[in-house]
Structure 1
Amino acid sequence: MEPYKIFISGYAKLPTGTTAEELYKVIALGIILDKNTGEILDADCSVVTSVAKEHVRELLVGKNLKNIEAIEEEFKNRYYGSVKKSLISSVRKCYTKYIQILENNDIEE
């Protein structure tokens, strides 16, 4: 594996009454990115349907985590599932961890 590739995860509470909440309680988002550039190389999440997982992946892969506002806008404009806010929160947590890594080369959980 290339040393510039890192894995970051973010979690958020799911809305009550959704299928995802019944199954998972929280949403998990995992991304692999280029530590040097911030480019998202791969992504996966714990939404229920495969089509939703693929759409989330398409919204993230190729984007730059340093440009969090543009990623959030993509979700606001192109994802209309009931876990939208939870996904945006998970992405934001990944962004926060990434910034900590860049600033401190460490993460506080």
Structure 2
Amino acid sequence: MAAIKMSSNNIFITGYAKLPTGITAQELYTVVAIGLLINRENGTIVDLDCTLVTSTAKRFVRENLVGRKITNYDEIECIFNERYYGCAKKALLFALKICNEKFNEVKAN
């Protein structure tokens, strides 16, 4: 993976949500965590990482979020509802919603 150029205009925001019992990720992590590097000015997701177990799941999340605006949570939710059928979907969406709320707080202050 290519290195992301850090900019003073980028901020780092995290979100966490409890995973459902009985899935591999829950056995390893208990919660799903997502960390987003976001452009402070326009809300664009520049990079991210998450605690999903498989590299395919992590790549799916990255490819569907990088370049999108965290402020367009409804669009993000729609994409995941249409395309992501993993057991962690509800937790992942909740963690992203928390990131959206945190970003809105940063922008308000």
TM-score for the superposition, normalised by structure 2 = 0.93
Task: Name segments (4+ residues, structure 1) moved above 6 Å.
Answer: none
Distance 1:2 1:41 in 2: 10
The residue number in structure 2 matching 1:65 is: 70
Is 2:89 the partner of 1:87? no
Is 2:34 the partner of 1:29? yes
Distance 1:14 1:26 in 2: 5
Superposed CA RMSD in Å reads 0.7
Say which SS state the counterpart of residue 99 (structure 2) adopts: helix
Structure 2 residue corresponding to 1:18, chosen from 16, 23, 33: 23
Q: What residue ranges of structure 2 are gaps of 5+ in the alignment? A: 1-5
Identity of aligned residues (%): 48
Q: What residue ranges of structure 1 are gaps of 5+ in the alignment? A: 105-109
TM-score for the superposition, normalised by structure 1 = 0.93
Number of positions where the alignment pairs a residue of Structure 1 with one of Structure 2: 104
User: How far apart are 1:94 and its partner, in Å?
Assistant: 0.2
Is 2:44 the partner of 1:44? no
Distance 2:91 2:66 in 1: 18
Distance 1:72 1:58 in 2: 14
| One-letter amino acid matched to 1:3 | S
Distance 2:63 2:83 in 1: 11
User: How far apart are 1:43 and its partner, in Å?
Assistant: 1.2
Distance 1:66 1:48 in 2: 26
